[in-house]
Amino acid sequence: MDAIVGGAVSTLNFDGGTLKATSSDANLINISGAGTTNLLAGGGTIDTNGLNLTEGGTRIIDDASLSLAAGRTVVLGPNGAGKSTLLRLIHGLLHPSTGILYWPRPLSQAMVFQRPIMLRTTALANVVYGLTLKGHARTDCEQRARQALARVGLEALVRRPARLLSGGEQQRVALARVWALEPELLILDEPTASLDPASSREVERIISEIAASGTRILMTTHNLGQARRLAEEIVFIDRGRIAEQTPVAKFFNLPQSEAAQDFLQEETP
């Protein structure tokens, strides 16, 4: 299932590998090893300060500090650079070894992966399920789900078993599932990586419309053309370190870091 996180704020305590959650008015995640994670009030941006993730003695994310204020941010970098891991840290699916993550306030967010998981039921029921999890009234769920599927162009397939849909159609169901929830932040991990060009264009259209509706977008892609079309700003990551964060036009016309210059030279035909 695509990850869905609501706006509830909590304090997370790590004690001998056991996770305990208690209520809090805080809105900042401050992680320093195996201690307490506090969510404290941040500013108007999503900020990270010195995020690190180490697994098996290997530093996967290295001192990542960002300030995310743009409506559409695309994370670029070579294979294995840490793009997906960074998104999972920001979303809360992974907990950093050390570092600080600031949120502007309790933030409703959702994440869609490269290969969305479809429940063994209809496209409509897949979308209804997400709404049910979020506590929407049953009388409201089907109407909202149908509206969301219509927005992604699947109104004729609402009764089709989701697992029998094409890869592009399944990704559109996944996007409808999270769009119906109206998240403030949508995180997308390579949403078109396994799709054909026509399906990719349709997914791009949907992402643009979700952004236009007021949802902030944070995504990764290997498609530089897609990054140019969708991004307002680029975050470039190399070997787990943030090499630069810059407006999209400046990144492609005048990258500041040597790593980004080499990357564009290798990836641009």
Encode pLDDT of 198-223 as tens digits. 999 999 999 999 999 999 999 999 99
pLDDT greater at residue 100 or residue 45: 100
Tell me the residue ranges of DSSP E strands in 197-255: 216-220, 233-238, 241-247
| 260 φ/ψ sector (left φ>0, alpha ψ -120 to 50, else beta) | alpha
**Could you tell me the pLDDT band of residue 250, with boundaries at 50, 70 and 90?**
very high
The domain limits of the chain are: 1-6+70-93+106-269
**Could you tell me the pLDDT band of residue 61, with boundaries at 50, 70 and 90?**
very high
Give the residue among 241, 165, 172 at the shortest CA–CA distance from 209.
172
Contact by Cβ (8 Å): 91, 25: no
**Could you tell me the pLDDT band of residue 105, with boundaries at 50, 70 and 90?**
confident
Tokens 């090893």 belong to residue: 33
Q: CA-to-CA distance for 37 and 55, rounded, in angstroms?
A: 19
Integer-rounded Cα Rg, in Å, for the chain is 19
**Could you tell me the pLDDT band of residue 44, with boundaries at 50, 70 and 90?**
low
What does the pLDDT average to over 76-82? 95
The continuous run of DSSP H or E covering 22 comes out as: strand 18-23
Question: Which amino acid, residue 233?
Answer: E
| SS3 state of residue 174 | helix
Q: What is the pLDDT of residue 267?
A: 83
- Backbone φ and ψ for 37, nearest 5 degrees, come out as -105, 115
User: Six-digit token pair at 183?
Assistant: 């998240």
**Class of the CATH-defined domain 1-6+70-93+106-269:** alpha beta
Q: Are strands 10-15 and 58-68 parallel, antiparallel or unpaired?
A: unpaired
Any idea which of 49-58, 100-109, 134-143 has the lowest mean pLDDT? 100-109
User: pLDDT for 5-30, tens place per residue?
Assistant: 433 332 222 222 333 333 333 344 44
